[in-house]
Each structure stands twice: as C-alpha cells, then as structure tokens.
Chain A
Amino acid sequence: DTEVTQTPKHLVMGMTNKKSLKCEQHMGHRAMYWYKQKAKKPPELMFVYSYEKLSINESVPSRFSPECPNSSLLNLHLHALQPEDSALYLCASSQLVGTGGGGGYTFGSGTRLTVV
C-alpha cells in the first residue's frame, strides 16, 4: 500500500462547528504532516509528527488541533474556524531520514474545506 488516504474529500462547516479531518497511511512511515494550501499558492506546513509526537508546530492558531493516535493515523480537529481558513488541507507522510537523502513526501488527495 503506497497511498495516503484522507477523509472526507470535501467538508463544509459553520464557524461554530467542530469537525475532524482524518489521514491514514500503511507504508510504515514514521513522520506525518499537515499542510494547508490556498488557491494558486504552494502548500504551507502546519504540523509535523515524528514517531507519533508533535515535533513542529508552525505557529498555527489553536482552533486547529492535531492528534496522532498511532503510527498510521493523523487527525486534525477543527473548532471555531473562520472563513479565511477555507483551503485544501493536505496530509503527507515520509520515512524519517537523517542526512544524505530526503526521499520526498507522499501526499494524500486532500480535504477541500469551506468555512461558512
């Protein structure tokens, strides 16, 4: 299995709602990532999990709350979002590597989030 699976593909939520995005991989990757991508822009890193522990938070507002229940799953809990949070949310995973090679990330297809 060489895929990263994200659900749902589309989500519309109100500003007072609580929702969660889910991401799953079975490649044995021990690093997982959340990226946010606005239209016509590159993906921007939000969070990195390494061995199920949060290792990087790129100063993301607390209305976004990540969770890594095990090495295959990554969630992003959403609460009290704003319309400007509407974007494509991408999950990715990678082997953990040191120097000498990156290997790149495997991305999911993303969740298209619209906040109304």
Chain B
Amino acid sequence: GQQLNQSPQSMFIQEGEDVSMNCTSSSIFNTWLWYKQDPGEGPVLLIALYKAGELTSNGRLTAQFGITRKDSFLNISASIPSDVGIYFCAGPGSGGYQKVTFGTGTKLQVIP
C-alpha cells in the first residue's frame, strides 16, 4: 500500500526557533493535508494543499506541495509551547478522498 514517511521522527526545539519537517510518498498525491494532534485528542486540520508547487500559510505555519507531487513540507516559525504535539501529513491516494492515508508523524517538543 501507499506509505507516507515523515522526518524527523521527533524533535526538541527551543521556544522561538523555526521548525521544518517533511513528508515523502512512494506515489503521487493530488492533495496534501497537514494535521496536528494534541495528546488525548483527535487530529486537527492545519493546512490543505491542492496544486503542485502551492505554498499556503496559516498564521505561523507554512506548507508547500512539492513539485514532484511526492512530497510536502511544513514550516513553523517562532515556535511557542502550544506548538507541542504530533504533526501528521496525510493525503488521498489511489483510493480517493474517502481513503486518506496518514504519515508516520513528527513529534514536536518545545523547550520554554
């Protein structure tokens, strides 16, 4: 099946630092979704990307749809303690929008 690999697997950063993470796929995706999951909660959609090369921002978050359509990137600027959580990329592969696959996740910890 389709695999979405995220890196890094986990990261510790100092409050105020910028963060970069990425997601790579073994196959082409037409949509990339980025979610954040807080402990004990369900994932929350942060950004959705629909076109190769697209760059979209949501506050301090910026995500890009890779031009190969096999990768996507998420950047967080000036991190704050509430950025702590697990970030998942996701996308509908060959199964269509009803069959979204989630990446392996990047766990972010922010040191105040």
Contacts and interface: CB of A to CB of B under 8 A. Distances in A.
A45 B50 contact: no
A103 B33 CA distance: 8
B45 A104 contact: yes
A110 B41 contact: yes
B111 interface: no
Given A56-B99, A97-B97, 11 more contacts: A31-B98, A42-B104, A43-B102, A56-B95, A92-B42, A101-B50, A102-B33, A102-B100, A107-B42, A109-B40, A110-B42
A90 B40 CA distance: 11
Interface residues of B, number: 25
12 contacts: A42-B103, A48-B98, A55-B98, A56-B99, A90-B43, A103-B48, A104-B35, A104-B45, A105-B45, A106-B45, A107-B42, A110-B40
Interface of B: 30-31, 33, 35, 40-45, 48, 50, 88, 91-92, 95, 97-105
B33 A104 contact: yes
A94 interface: yes
B88 A102 contact: no
Nearest to B29: A102
Interface of A: 4, 31, 33, 40-45, 48, 50, 55-56, 90, 92, 94, 96-97, 99-110, 112
Nearest to A50: B98
Contacts of B95: 56
7 A-B pairs with the lowest CB-CB distances in the bound complex, closest first: A107-B42, A42-B102, A104-B45, A102-B31, A48-B98, A102-B97, A104-B33
